[in-house]
Amino acid sequence: MKRRIGILTAGGDCPGLNAAIRGVARASYIAFDAEIVAIRGGYKGLIEGDFKEMKKGQFSNILTVGGTILGTARTPFKEMRVVGDDLVDKVYEMRKNYKKLKLDCLVTLGGNGTHKTANLLSEEGLNIIGLPKTIDNDIYGTDVTFGFHTAVDTATDIIDRLHTTAASHNRVMVVEIMGNKAGWLTLYAGLAGGADAILIPEIPYDIEEVVKVVEMRASMGKNFTIVAVAEGAIDKEEAQMRRKDMEDKRKEEGVDFVCQRVARDLAQLTGSECRYVIPGHILRGGSPSAYDRILSTLFGTYAAKLIAEENYGVTVALKNNQITANKLSDIAGVPKAVELDHHILKTAKAMGISFGD
């Protein structure tokens, strides 16, 4: 039976998107008579009707390629039902273009925001299947998202390189890792890279506790310290504040990045020479690791199986080393933060790594 499948990638890019797209396409071509339509530029493309018919050959040689061949864009979920100055009803346009393209289903690859919009479209009566990608690993209901492990490898390599320059110059190096609401990437990379302190959003830090780490290492003859900081890390005072008040406070302090503030405070309180580093979007780039190529392929292939079964309104997941699916309505908008009793966190603490608490 013929299936006409739309595919889009939304939100931030990450390694593994093309591998997942390839998995959906190749498995679909084998499982049933598939026609695949690429929606360009995420939900924006679905709203504007920006698409192209794909051929089998266009899914070749993309397994190892980073980014996304479909293009992507951020279209915030909170704006989906808002009619702006352009007078465009986004939900109406997406429904209209889905039907205009005569799609049997739409496969959406993305993070939390993408999944919330996917659930919205599912509630609007469209046949939707989600694939969980994000370097933040913060999608509820799946043990891991594709893109995460490649970003861990990249962040770990960055921390490894900071060790040599920190030791050479007797410096405290503060590296800021992506992760605004969840600290999974900073936790894993910090542990793998041998950081001495790891600051994550889930554990508000006391700068005095980080000072103790620097001073203790100095007393042991260790002339450098590595601090891994998630971009969403906050101190204990900020944890008691409203978001806007916290942002105003940082603006008054002239702080643009949390690593900048941590480095400044450590320099003032310890007298050490401190530097901060922001890898930023480097963490999103490059070719996916072998793990992410396999995970993306597993997810994409499973999505094709769901299409064949006409099992819609779900998103693919990895649970206890098994590929499965969750209802979009169960996981959309549900955060997955680092649990304080998580075994990786407990291992880091057992190794003597400080979390500033």
Read off the amino acid at residue 164. Answer: T
Overall average pLDDT of the 183-202 stretch? 98
CATH topology match: 2-147+288-331 vs 149-284? yes
Q: Pairing state of beta strands 314-319 and 273-277?
A: unpaired
Q: For the segment 89-137, what is each residue's pLDDT rounded down to a tens digit?
A: 999 999 999 999 999 999 999 999 999 999 999 999 999 999 999 999 9
Calculate what percentage of the chain has a pLDDT beyond 90.
Answer: 88
Overall average pLDDT of the 139-168 stretch? 96
What does the domain layout of the chain look like in residue ranges? 2-147+288-331, 149-284
pLDDT band at 186 (very low <50, low <70, confident <90, very high): very high
Residues involved in catalysis: 136
Angle in degrees, CA 20, 21, 27, rounded to 5: 85
Q: Are 239 and 207 in contact (CB under 8 A)?
A: no
Lowest mean pLDDT among 29-38, 128-137, 250-259, 336-345: 250-259
Q: For the segment 292-309, what is each residue's pLDDT rounded down to a tens digit?
A: 999 999 999 999 999 999
Instruction: Report the CATH architecture of 2-147+288-331.
Output: 3-Layer(aba) Sandwich (3.40)
Q: Nearest-CA neighbor of 117 among 134, 95, 137?
A: 95
Q: For the segment 74-101, what is each residue's pLDDT rounded down to a tens digit?
A: 888 898 888 888 889 999 999 999 999 9
pLDDT, residue 238, reads 87
Q: Pairing state of beta strands 171-177 and 273-277?
A: parallel
Q: Nearest-CA neighbor of 301 among 117, 129, 104?
A: 129
Q: For the segment 201-253, what is each residue's pLDDT rounded down to a tens digit?
A: 999 999 999 999 999 999 999 999 999 999 999 999 988 888 888 888 888 88
Q: Nearest-CA neighbor of 39 among 92, 106, 93?
A: 106
pTM of the model: 0.94
Q: Nearest-CA neighbor of 228 among 262, 203, 268, 265?
A: 262
Instruction: Return the number of other C-beta atoms located less than 10 Å from residue 291's C-beta.
Output: 16
- The CATH number of the domain covering residues in 149-284: 3.40.50.460
pLDDT, residue 357, reads 92
Q: Give how far Cα 27 sits from Cα of 3, 5, 295, 313, Å.
A: 12, 12, 14, 20
